[in-house]
Amino acid sequence: AQTVTQSQPEMSVQEAETVTLSCTYDTSENNYYLFWYKQPPSRQMILVIRQEAYKQQNATENRFSVNFQKAAKSFSLKISDSQLGDTAMYFCAFMKHMNRDDKIIFGKGTRLHILP
Amino acid sequence: DSGVTQTPKHLITATGQRVTLRCSPRSGDLSVYWYQQSLDQGLQFLIQYYNGEERAKGNILERFSAQQFPDLHSELNLSSLELGDSALYFCASSVGTGVGYEQYFGPGTRLTVT
């Protein structure tokens, strides 16, 4: 079974700093998808970034980028020039490719505080 | 706004009762997913429907059931409620299935069982 581990329950950084959230996962699959979801205080789940395992190039979305290390089964999220609005719970997540189901397996989350 | 709607936003009920949570997917999306977010279990996949048919089951209790109707909206039925069922229940939808389509989450229904 697939598992997703986020080793940092909580982090705090100053506004405008860069922060990296860690995530490791365990799978025997070769093709899969990895995601980072953001859950602000409003509780809405928002997709931040998506990585396809067969792509070697790391995904980027504006200030958000990932460091995808397939052999190490590591998928960290870097937030550059952090903003107060980045304060949220961040979930790393995994989905199999071409499986019967598309269930997303989530990590326990990292609570990120951006300090003014 | 993801385009996925869920009603009600909040629900407070007593142990032993039955409730129905409703979800309307984004226009054009055929897949609907239900997730439960609780403090102790985190975010867990419950069940998926695709175009009216059950596609996959996760950690869904036997007291819980769901269905997807011809108009593609979905309902999650929770019965014989226990205190431990208190959680945030999310519905998500995607256009298809199998190739990592993005799942768009609704705002959730917060269920409190007293």
Q: According to the model, what pLDDT value does residue A98 have?
A: 65
- Residues of A at the B interface, defined by Cβ within 8 angstroms: 33, 42-47, 50, 52, 91, 95, 97-109
Q: How confident is the model at residue A100 (pLDDT cuts 50, 70, 90)?
A: low
Instruction: List the B5-7 sheet strands across, edge first.
Output: B5-7, B19-24, B74-78, B64-68
- CA B105 to chain centroid, in Å, comes to 10
Chain A closest-CA separation from residue B16 CA (Å): 27
Return the bridge partners of B7, or none.
B22
Query: Measured between CB atoms, which of A97, A104, A105 is closest to B103?
Result: A104
Structure tokens at A36: 């980072």
Identify whether the C-beta of residue A48 lies closer than 8 Å to the C-beta of residue A77: yes
Structure tokens at A27: 């799978």
Nearest-by-CA chain A residue for B97: A102
Lowest mean pLDDT among A82-96, B27-41, B61-75, B92-106: B92-106
Identify whether the C-beta of residue A38 lies closer than 8 Å to the C-beta of residue A89: yes
Contacts of A29 in chain B (CB under 8 A): none
Cβ of A33 within 8 Å of Cβ of B100? The answer is: yes
Q: According to the model, what pLDDT value does residue A61 have?
A: 94
Chain B closest-CA separation from residue A109 CA (Å): 8
pLDDT at B40 over 90: no
- The residue-averaged pLDDT of A50-61 equals 93
Identify whether the C-beta of residue A81 lies closer than 8 Å to the C-beta of residue A16: yes
pLDDT at A101 over 70: no
Identify whether the C-beta of residue A38 lies closer than 8 Å to the C-beta of residue A48: yes
Q: Kindly report the backbone phi and psi dihedral angles of residue B26, in degrees, each rounded to the nearest multiple of 5, phi listed first.
A: -60, 150
Mean pLDDT of chain A: 93
pLDDT at A1 over 90: no
Mutate to test the interface with B, among A3, A31, A32, A45 (most CBs of B within 10 A): A45
